């Protein structure tokens, strides 16, 4: 209690003392509030964080705003306002991305993974791994990096991967002891105790919990003491010593109620109810069950106050969506024009009736009406076609987003997991090579997925799109195969305005990929060339040549690669011709009649 008073006095005194400072200095003082002082009075700390955010906006300093938002996120964490905390995390990430503050981005990604652990464990793992990887790459402050390792161990514990959890907890604790970090060491002890508790090594768990509580009591860390009491309650509950469990849960409940630690209070109420129920003390069980449900509903209401913003929005998708909105605006304008024309026709008919020129005007009016109906039908057909194209484009965008966000993220997660395995364990060479092979294959799959998304995002593929895609592929092949010379040439007389459907463009690109890959694997060539030519608007010709060993078309069985190329050519109504001379090389020519 003495410490709580000193912490309250600290924050209250700070609130008064900084009032005379400049706006920037007020912000910087708020950003320097220590963790243990912040959790001593969350309500005052949150108000100070709000003040820092307000002042940062007033002086228009984006970096100070992002740092102030981080303080606000810390306050929200202890009041279970998880949705708002997640929104602010994403807002802060975007600010740091604008200034290329990679370490801060990594820090926030790690924190985002921690906050998502009870909502979406898969995404929590992905964000935590992404954050750690960024921070390791850019040599983040070791203190914060090892905090992320400790939290990463908690995520492994939630998946019941106790060996991995213990590895990361001990890795973090070793560093904490080295730097004598009295704030974080108790957390490390508690997390290790939790692993032993869940693996039913109760004596070890109690030993670590005693060490954690002793340090926290020496520091008068109210939040930490509350946390330790909950862990002791978990320990005795697991051992079915329900009287002892209830004693510790009750202590945690009283502390969390006093200092407004809502998540801890809710947890304590839930297990007080369960402990008293196990003791058949139904009066107390009912009491805490009602408290638990009230707290649960309160937290739930807070969590539904706002929606989580999307983390990463593809710029190409945004552009497409803007184009769709523009098209819809044009359609609305055309509809208004048609409506105005209809009003003019009705007015003309009324004037014609009033003037009495029933004969001549009737004939001319009927003729005009027929013409207008034809125009309306033409416009309706055009509108229907545009709307159909819009729906198809929306479906493409949805599918491509799903592929990117779900399949792409899962493949990236696989690569990260393989890298973590190789980093975290000393593996035999054979297994290490196998994991590297799987990682390479998965990376290749991501590239192919991106090619597919590229095609799906386009209703048509221009000559420039195709040329750029082929050129990028050839450049990558050049980097990978140093002993082979690659070249890509487009004839000067090629029609620059030719357009292909997304299916045609994708199949042509895949045929070129397959042809070049076959030459790399089997031809033993020193030179591979790709030519593209369209001498008129009727025909497109693409040639892939190599100076390799060639083969006898009559004697060699066609493999899956060549059969796939033929099937792709057939699907787009193109012809594929092979010429090969042993020891001299191979020519593959694709001919596509345009507008067929």
pLDDT at 84: 82
Q: Is 64 left (phi over 0), alpha (psi -120 to 50) or beta?
A: alpha
Do 467 and 513 lie in one domain? The reply is yes
Phi, psi of 497, rounded to the nearest 5 degrees: -100, 10
Confidence at 327, pLDDT banded by 50, 70, 90: low
Q: Are residues 481 and 580 in the same domain?
A: yes
Same domain, 478 and 354: no
Nearest-CA neighbor of 75 among 106, 30, 10?
30
The answer as to whether 265 is a domain residue is: no
Specify if 409 maps to a domain: yes
Tens-digit pLDDT profile for residues 354-391: 777 677 777 777 877 777 777 777 777 766 665 655 56
Domain termination residue (choose one: 372, 403, 424): 424
* Token representation of residue 268: 């304590």
pLDDT of 263 strictly over 80: yes
- Over residues 179-206, the mean pLDDT reads 92
Closest CA to 424 of 192, 171, 189, 194: 171
Q: Grade residue 86 by pLDDT with cuts at 50, 70 and 90.
A: confident
Q: Which residue has the higher pLDDT, 116 or 401?
A: 116
Question: CA-to-CA distance for 212 and 237, rounded, in angstroms?
Answer: 19
Q: Are residues 467 and 577 in the same domain?
A: yes
Structural domains in the chain (count): 2
Q: Is residue 182 part of a domain?
A: no
Q: Scan for tokens 């304008």, then name that residue.
A: 333
Residue 369 within any structural domain of the chain? yes
One domain, residues 415 and 474: no
Q: Is there a domain that residue 311 lies in?
A: no
Q: What angle, 0 to 180 degrees and rounded to 10, lies between the N-to-C axes of helices 222-238 and 202-219?
A: 160
Whole domain around residue 378: which residue ranges?
A: 330-424
Is the pLDDT higher at 430 or at 488? 488
Tell me, yes or no, whether 466 and 545 share the same domain: yes
What was the pLDDT predicted at 452? Answer: 66
- In this structure, the answer to whether residues 504 and 577 fall within a common structural domain is yes
Per-residue model confidence (pLDDT) at position 8: 53
Q: Report whether pLDDT(271) > 50.
A: yes
One domain for residues 495 and 544: yes
60 token code pair: 């228009």
Domain shared by 470 and 390, yes or no: no
Give 596 or 277, the one with higher predicted confidence: 277
Helical ranges in 403-520 per DSSP H:
409-424, 429-456, 463-480, 502-518
* Position 371 in a domain: yes
- pLDDT at residue 80 tops 70: no
Q: What is the mean pLDDT of residues 21-38?
A: 87
Question: Domain check: are 585 and 465 in the same one?
Answer: yes
Percentage of the chain beyond pLDDT 90 is 27
Nearest residue to 91 via CA among 106, 74, 108 = 108
Q: Which range in 114-128, 266-280, 285-299, 370-384 is most confidently predicted, on average pLDDT?
A: 266-280
Least reliable range by pLDDT among 43-57, 68-82, 138-152, 408-422: 408-422
Res. 547 pLDDT band, cuts 50 70 90: very high
What local confidence, expressed as pLDDT, does residue 237 receive? Answer: 95
pLDDT range class, residue 564, cuts 50, 70, 90: confident
Q: Within 10 Å of residue 440's Cβ, how many Cβ atoms?
A: 12
Same domain, 469 and 571: yes
Q: Per-residue confidence at 185, pLDDT binned at 50, 70, 90?
A: very high
Q: pLDDT per residue over 415-471, tens digit each? A: 666 666 666 666 677 776 666 667 666 666 666 666 666 666 666 788 788 888 888
Q: Given this model, what pLDDT does residue 309 score? A: 37
**Residue 260 resides in a domain:** no
Phi first, then psi: give them for residue 316, nearest 5 degrees: -65, -40
Residue 43 lies in a domain: no
For every residue of 543-566, DSSP letters joined together read EEEE-S----TTTSPP-HHHHHHH
Largest alpha-carbon pair distance within the chain? 108
490 in the same domain as 413 = no
Q: Over the chain, what is the mean pLDDT?
A: 80
Q: Which residues make beta-bridge pairs with 589?
A: 543, 577
pLDDT at 315: 31
Predicted pLDDT of residue 393: 55
The C-alpha R_g of the chain, in whole angstroms, comes to 34
Q: What is the CATH number of the domain that holds 479?
A: 3.30.565.10
């Amino acid at each position: 209690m003495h410490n709580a008073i000193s912490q309250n006095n600290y924050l209250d005194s700070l609130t008064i003392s900084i009032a005379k400072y400049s706006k920037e200095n007020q912000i910087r003082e708020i950003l320097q509030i220590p963790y243990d002082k912040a959790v001593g009075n969350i309500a005052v700390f949150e108000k100070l964080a709000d003040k820092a955010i307000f002042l940062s906006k007033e002086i228009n300093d984006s970096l100070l705003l992002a740092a102030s938002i981080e303080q606000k996120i810390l306050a929200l964490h202890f009041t279970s306002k998880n949705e708002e905390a997640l929104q602010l995390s994403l807002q802060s990430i975007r600010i740091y991305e604008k200034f290329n503050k990679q370490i801060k981005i990594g820090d926030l990604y790690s924190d985002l993974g921690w906050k998502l652990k009870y909502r979406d464990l898969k995404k929590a793992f992905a964000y935590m791994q992404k954050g750690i990887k960024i921070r390791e790459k850019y040599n983040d402050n070791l203190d914060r990096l090892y905090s992320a390792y400790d939290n990463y161990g908690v995520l492994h514990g939630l998946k019941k991967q106790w060996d991995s959890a213990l590895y990361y907890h001990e890795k973090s604790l070793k560093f904490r002891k080295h730097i004598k970090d009295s704030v974080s060491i108790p957390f490390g002890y508690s997390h290790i105790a939790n692993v032993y508790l869940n693996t039913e090594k109760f004596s070890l768990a109690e030993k670590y919990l005693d060490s954690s509580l002793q340090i926290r009591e020496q520091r008068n860390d109210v939040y930490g003491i509350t946390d330790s009491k909950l862990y002791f309650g978990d320990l005795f509950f697991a051992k079915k010593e329900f009287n002892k469990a209830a004693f510790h849960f009750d202590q945690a409940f009283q502390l969390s109620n006093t200092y407004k630690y809502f998540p801890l209070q809710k947890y304590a109420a839930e297990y007080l109810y369960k402990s008293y129920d196990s003791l058949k003390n139904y009066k107390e069980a009912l009491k805490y069950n009602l408290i638990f449900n009230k707290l649960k509903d309160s937290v739930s209401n807070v969590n539904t106050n706002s929606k989580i913003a999307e983390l990463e929005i593809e710029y190409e998708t945004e552009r497409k969506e803007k184009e769709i909105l523009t098209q819809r605006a044009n359609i609305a304008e055309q509809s208004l024009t048609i409506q105005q024309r209809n009003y003019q026709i009705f007015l003309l008919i009324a004037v014609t009736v009033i003037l009495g020129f029933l004969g001549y005007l009737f004939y001319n009016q009927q003729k005009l009406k027929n013409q207008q109906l034809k125009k309306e039908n033409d416009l309706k057909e055009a509108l229907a076609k545009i709307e159909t194209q819009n729906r198809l484009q929306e479906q493409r965008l949805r599918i491509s987003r799903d592929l990117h966000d779900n399949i792409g993220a899962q493949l990236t997660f696989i690569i990260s997991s393989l890298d973590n395995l190789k980093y975290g364990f000393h593996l035999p060479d054979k297994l290490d090579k196998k994991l590297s092979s799987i990682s390479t294959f998965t990376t290749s799959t991501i590239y192919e997925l991106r090619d597919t998304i590229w095609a799906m995002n386009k209703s048509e593929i221009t000559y420039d799109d195709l040329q750029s895609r082929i050129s990028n592929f050839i450049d990558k092949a050049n980097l990978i195969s140093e002993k082979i010379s690659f070249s890509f040439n487009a004839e000067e007389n090629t029609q620059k305005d030719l357009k292909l459907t997304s299916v045609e463009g994708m199949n042509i690109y895949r045929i070129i990929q397959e042809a070049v890959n076959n030459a790399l694997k089997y031809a033993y060539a020193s030179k591979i060339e790709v030519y593209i030519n369209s001498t008129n608007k009727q025909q497109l010709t693409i040639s892939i040549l190599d100076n390799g060993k060639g083969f006898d078309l009559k004697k060699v069985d066609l493999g899956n690669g060549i059969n796939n190329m033929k099937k792709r050519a057939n699907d787009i109504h193109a012809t594929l011709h092979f010429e090969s001379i042993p020891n001299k090389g191979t020519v593959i020519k694709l001919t596509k009649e345009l507008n067929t």
